[in-house]
Structure 1
């Protein structure tokens, strides 16, 4: 199962195990069970602290549990956790074996103090780059608190279970048999949902903070660059971010960031956060801004009210709230979201294996999605509103060469339809003829661009007709002392490298403002 390189790496990691633990596998005579058995035997052979049992009686087969000796830990993988989940497997082994997790001591205590019975089931796919965060968060919680029980389930391996629960997007999390959440979630977010008093405590703590010289709202490439440039000036810098890394977390491959030949979004987001932390910046994660209150007098403090009720104060503010996937905004889209309507082909594509899907959008994102999906699903129909595809010629040529792809231009989607709570197709209009048409489908992937996260700024900062923050060449907004950078602004070409440059520029402008005022 593991090549020599992976075996060498894993053996080095397992040398950090200090406490004995047991792996118990529940197997059948299937090929996947044989693969899992080989993987677990390889792992057990690498450490004398690990005992392997192959006589487990769990109903999900193949699966295996990890349990530290002398504890009631309950962590099970109904999966062969390779691909994107190999890191999750390594961390689960290390944490079970006593290696300390790299999380704040305060968070560890918060997890340990959770009181109740929490039985989590998380459905993932091995190609999903959003899933490891959720898998690792719940694995950690199970290791730290015996009242948290977690089962990690590969949707492709347990397709009948996925179909029975009508799961059409990953990660999908169930708590005590009920839907808990879907999409990327950090351990902090999960704990906050369980610990109902956490928001009020957090708000009080944030409101008590000393005023910043520069407060950055948003933690994507623009916000991270702004934080680094501001902190290097030796001024008090803070970042309030809904999730550090922003939209980058949902990007699979990054191949055009100068000097970095190739990386992926989650890796790049981690590098951004590491760089910012290096300069001692106060990072306040999981914080959604709700309102901007300009200074009441020249040189006064600007306030940012947060959704949890906390208030942050600063001499200057840099807005870098980024953008999110744009919706088609037709009937049925919200009703069938995660029930056939999806936005991440890399995450959810494997759930549609052998089925019929459509991709809406003929730009690079849409065409790339259609190419990727064509290797998994039975058939892909790509719908583009304009007269021709807008993607790069090399991508269009590749798409047109695929036998199980149909392309419709001049196609305006008018409705998503479904039955029994699941998507069963879409209706569209041929804009050239006016003819109404119908596609019978099991899935639709929406890839039509971005919308800025600026609704909370309406009436405070001047916005364009598209909702973008209007900025000048220095990144200044219509409000004195408030600057903006990145995808949320009117700066053209929404690219990581451009956002980072804008963030640096906004920080330098904010520093100049502080000097002059």
Structure 2
């Protein structure tokens, strides 16, 4: 299962294990159980503090639990956690083995103080880059609090459960047998949902903070770069965001970031946060901006209000709230979101194995999605509004070579159809004739571009373009003195990570220049 290089790396990690524990496997006679047994055997051979037992009685096979002697930690993997989940396995081995987690002392104490029986189940896919954050967060909660249990389940391996629970998007989390949430969640977000008083306590703490010199609203590449450049000037700097990393967290392969031949979105987001933390930057997560109150006079303090009730003030601001996936806004799309309508082919593609799906959009994102899905599903139909695809030629040639892909051009999607619980079809209009056509399918992947996150600025004096993007000058300043903007939320063309980083840096330098001159 593990090559020599991976074994060497894992052996080095497992040297951090300080207390013995057991891997208790539940196996049957199937091929997957044999694969899991081989993996677990290889792991135990790398560390003398880990013992393997095969007398587990879990109804899910193959699966395994990580238990300290005489103690049920409540942590179980159902499946073979390779792919993106291999990191989750390694962290679980280390943490059950006594290696301290990276979570803050406040978060650890908050987990330990939870006074309820919480049984979480997370359905993941091995190709999902969003799933490990959720799996790792819930694993840690199970390790730290004996009243919390967590089972991480490979949805592709336990298809019967997926069908029974009608799961069509990962990660999907159940709590005590009932749906809890879907999609990427951080440890802090999960705690905010189960610890109902946490949000109010955090909002009160934030509102008591003194004014910043520069405050970044958004923690993606633009916000992170702005924070680094501002902090290096020695001024009081803060970053407040819904989630640090922004849309990068939902990006799989990144191959055009200069000097980095290949990386993945979550890895880049983690590197951005680690870099920012090298400086004295106050990072505040889980905060959605809802209102901007500009300073009443030049050089005064701007105020930003958040959905949580928190209020922050700063002499300058860098607005870097980014953009989100554009929706079709047709009947059925919202109703069947996560019930057949999806926006992340890498995450949810494995759940549609052997089924028929459509991809909406003929740009690079849409064509790449269709190519990826073609290796998993029975049939892919790509639907493009224009008369020609807009993707790069190399991608179009690859798409055309795939036998299970159909391409429909000059078509407008008019409705997503379903039976009340899940998608079963799609209706589109042939633009040339006006005739309506129907496709029978089980999934729709929407890939039609981005929308700037500027709704919260509609009633502010910040100038916006017709598309809702923030208008900036050559220094990144908006129409309001002392307020700057950067990244995908602005009118700057070519929405690329490297451009957002440059724009964030420019905005921070512009803000510093404004401060010293005012």
1:477 aligns with 2:478: yes
Structure 1 distance, partners of 2:146, 2:67, is 10
Aligned residue number for residue 206 of structure 1: 206
1: CA distance, partners of 2:20 / 2:304:
49
Counterparts of 1:324 and 1:420, CA distance in 2: 27
Moved more, 389-398 or 286-295: 286-295
- Which residue of structure 2 lines up, in the alignment, with residue 220 of structure 1? 220
Aligned equivalent of 1:8: 8
User: What is the 5 A alignment of 1:106-185?
Assistant: 106-185=106-185
Matches within 5 A, 1:62-461: 62-460=62-460, 461=462
For residues 132-180 of structure 1, what are the alpha-carbon distances to aligned partners after superposition, in whole Å with 9 as ceiling and x for unaligned? 0000000010000111100000000000110010000000000011110
CA distance in 1, matches of 2:427, 2:73: 50
The C-alpha deviation readout for 1:279-312, integer Å capped at 9, x for no partner, is: 1211111111111111122221111111111111
How far has the Cα of 1:420 moved from its partner? 4.0
Structure 1 stretches of at least 4 aligned residues deviating more than 6 Å after TM superposition? none
Q: Cα distance, 1:70 vs. partner?
A: 3.9
SS in 2 for 1:380: strand
Q: Measure the CA separation in 2 of the matches of 1:20 and 1:26.
A: 20
TM-score, normalisation: structure 1: 0.99
The DSSP-based 3-state class of the residue aligned with 1:509 is helix
Q: How far, CA to CA, are the matches of 1:501 and 1:96 in structure 2?
A: 41
- Report the counterpart of residue 493 of structure 2 in structure 1: 492
Q: Which runs of 5+ in 2 are unaligned?
A: none
SS at match of 2:214: strand
Give the distance between the partners of 1:28 and 1:399, measured in 2 at CA.
Answer: 40
1:498 and 1:42 map into 2 onto residues whose CA distance is 44
Q: 1:475 & 1:407 partners in 2: Cα distance?
A: 41
* Root mean square deviation, CA, Å: 0.8
SS at match of 1:65: strand
**1:80-124, CA deviations, whole angstroms, 9 ceiling, x for partnerless residues?**
001100000000000000000011111000000011010000000
- How many residue pairs match? The answer is 517
Q: Distance in 2 between matches of 1:72 and 1:355?
A: 39
Q: How far apart are the structure 2 equivalents of 1:211 and 1:69?
A: 51
Unaligned runs of 5+ in 1: none
Cα distance in structure 1, aligned partners of 2:71 and 2:209:
40
Match of 1:502 in 2: 503
- 1:69: Cα distance to partner? 2.3
When structure 1 is superposed on structure 2, of 289-298 and 386-395 the one drifting more is 289-298
Q: TM-score, normalised by structure 2?
A: 0.99
